[in-house]
Amino acid sequence: MRATRAVLESRAMQASRTQVQAPLRSLDQRMEALRRANEIRVRRAQLKKDLKAGSAHVETILRDPPDYVETAKVIDILMAVPKFGRVKAARFLNQCRISQSKTVGGLSERQRTELVGLLRR
């Protein structure tokens, strides 16, 4: 019984040492982060509506992305364009050698130029 308890306590100690905890934030900091996240979500939703309606152009967004689009996935932006589904968007990304998990802000100049050129065809 004692050996079992010692083993369990030892495992608990190891587990607590390896877990990474988020930094402690004040209530004001958490509320500010939530406010910013919600603002970004609203602006992205509006951008996707504009892309669907044709009042915004995906080439412009990809060439010079606004700050609220930097952390959005490229595939999500492409899928907001009319006549673009998951398959077509994935095909375009594969042709440009871009991972489906790549964010707009994480695109290299080569990837950005190649993708915009492919979209203009």
For position 12, what pLDDT does the model report? 54
Of 105, 102, 92, which Cα lies nearest the Cα of 65? 105
Determine contact, residues 58/119, Cβ cutoff 8 Å.
yes
**Core vs surface per residue 85-118: b (16+ CB within 10 A) or e:** eeeebeebbeebebeeebbbeebeeebbebbbee
pLDDT tens, residue order, the chain (121 aa): 555 555 555 555 555 556 777 778 888 999 999 999 999 999 999 999 999 999 999 999 999 999 999 999 999 999 999 999 999 999 999 999 999 999 999 999 999 999 999 999 8
The CATH classification of domain 29-120, taken from the options 1.10.8.50, 1.10.287.3510, 1.20.1250.20, 3.20.19.10? 1.10.8.50
Amino acid at position 72, single letter: A
Q: Rounded CA gap, 43 and 13, in Å?
A: 44
How much is the pTM? 0.75
Contacts of 98 (CB under 8 A, 6+ apart): 74, 107, 111, 115
Residue ranges per structural domain of the chain: 29-120
